[in-house]
A = this chain, B = another copy of it.
């Protein structure tokens, strides 16, 4: 497995692979990898000849007071996992290389799509995501890029950006990977103490309630969301950021629960903010 620190190294290797007629898959990550990331690598390996994983805690997607400094990092462990899973190249740039001191160019969706859901409390988050993903696409020039359905709004925004900016990359979504007790895998789960870890299952329990209601024919988004919130409110350590039902493509709030509607939540468990979601009509 190649470990590249510079864009130039990545470009040289990609050029060689493309000249040999090989397709390239990219899995952008912030590291501290878990089975969710591993499933993206696996998907990429099944569809592309070569798989590149970027490991980069992207400062521009963190807001003031968020967890940029404390975000968990373990590059040695990440490399071991990626080597074991058959990743071909890890791109692990330094922040100062990707963002020179006078960096100022951003890619932004200027509609209210990035203002819904997580954007309500993280107003600059998706601008940072779009910007770094654009940079990674420009460096790696992947044929396909793989994103987890857990970050559903990110996925929808990346798809929109790719379409709007005529980027020549296929975006592949991969299902949420969960722990045995239902908790969606997340690098931020490492923040939870034992008591919080137990409480955190309230997200997936709420998701399960919502999915069952929708499957049984509930069409009133307000009633569905209210029932899901009630589940979360049973947990004293949980504080709801949002639970919303939105159009799965535009992220606009909906009144009626139909197939393709995204029901998404962000919940604080102690100081840790976790997200989860489901799409109506799609399997677990």
A11-B168, A105-B107, A105-B160 known; 7 new pairs, CB 8 Å cut-off, are: A100-B163, A102-B111, A104-B160, A105-B130, A105-B161, A107-B107, A138-B165
Scan residues 97-120 of chain A and give those whose CB is less than 8 A from a CB of chain B.
98, 100, 102-111, 113
Q: Are A104 and B110 in contact (CB under 8 A)?
A: yes
Q: Are B166 and A7 in contact (CB under 8 A)?
A: yes
A140-178 vs B, CB cutoff 8 Å, 1 = contact: the mask equals 010000000000000000001101111110000000000
Q: Does A131 contact B (CB under 8 A)?
A: yes
Contacts of A188 in B (CB 8 A): none
Residue in B102, B141, B165 whose beta carbon sits within 8 Å of that of A107 in the complex: B165
Q: Are A135 and B165 in contact (CB under 8 A)?
A: yes
Q: Does A139 contact B (CB under 8 A)?
A: yes
What are the 4 A-B residue pairs with the smallest beta carbon separation, nearest first? A105-B164, A104-B111, A135-B166, A138-B166
What are 9 A-B interface contacts by the 8 Å CB criterion? A98-B166, A100-B163, A102-B250, A105-B107, A105-B110, A105-B165, A106-B107, A135-B166, A138-B167
Q: Are A104 and B100 in contact (CB under 8 A)?
A: no
Q: Which of A109, A160, A164 has the most CB of B within 10 A?
A: A164
Q: Does A134 contact B (CB under 8 A)?
A: yes
Cα(A7)–Cα(B163), bound, Å: 12
Chain A: interface secondary structure? mixed
Contacts of A106 in B (CB 8 A): 107-108, 110
A44-85 vs B, CB cutoff 8 Å, 1 = contact: the mask equals 000000000000000000000000000000000000000000
Contacts of A134 in B (CB 8 A): 165
A253 to chain B, nearest CB (A): 16
Contacts of A130 in B (CB 8 A): 105
Cα(A111)–Cα(B101), bound, Å: 12
Cα(A104)–Cα(B167), bound, Å: 14
Cα(A250)–Cα(B125), bound, Å: 27
A13 to chain B, nearest CB (A): 13
